[in-house]
Structure 1
Amino acid sequence: MTTPELFFAIRPETPLRAARAEDHERIDRMLAANPQNWSDEDVDVVMSRTQTTIGGPETFKWILPAFLDRCLANPERGWMTDSNDLVSKLDYAHFDNWPADQQRAALAMLNNWANAWSRLHAGDITDSADDDAVLRNWLKARSI
């Protein structure tokens, strides 16, 4: 099974918990469309708000593959979720309890994303290097 197929049946929690009416509309719009047609803005906003003001662990699992794919395709966009935030979200979503095939697929995507993120921030003296180290350590603890 490919990565998208492993996550295809996952949907946000029902009823969806969202703090803003616009987020209910955003999720409804996304659920009605093919993920390839989702806007980068929708993916970015849902990822940044998931588990805080939109949904919970299932919403995170639902948006994760699209977020990672979009980031790899356009790493310079200025995505709102950085490595450190991603680790917090993975832990909050109880990653270690996901089915083994979903864990393996997600780890492969996360490794690709971490590598791309590191290349993008090579030589960066900001907090990005520290964020990258947090993700690298998290991935190392779950090496595939």
Structure 2
Amino acid sequence: MALRPSLQAAPTPEQGPLFPSRAAARQKALEHRCPRSVGGFLQDGDLPMSLMDYTGYAAAICTTSAYIPQVVRVWRTRSTKDISLKMFLVLVTGLALWLTYGFWKGEIPLVAANGVTLMLAGTILYFKLKHG
């Protein structure tokens, strides 16, 4: 007959503490999800990317590539009169902050997507400042 959880014997040292610390529980969950991860990055031979990962990459590609037509148009025409300077100043600042955050977190997708987007938006901002 199984004992109720409150009446079960204390765990052995090999089983770990009865109430693990929050950090230990989080680490155990991470190891269960991705046993060979180092610093949050998957190593060779690890589990394939999930649908969530693919969705994130697709979103990064869409939002980053959305700036390409505008950069091409501004480059060719040298005209930025219909582009808001304030909006691009705030956007470039936000992208720089996202890039910094990505470096601090060690998240390569964040760094890559925001780095490319920052270059594209920065190009438009450069032409806006230079050509008004």
If the length of structure 2 is used for normalisation, what is the TM-score?
Answer: 0.35
When Rg is computed on C-alpha atoms for both structures, the one with the higher figure is: 2
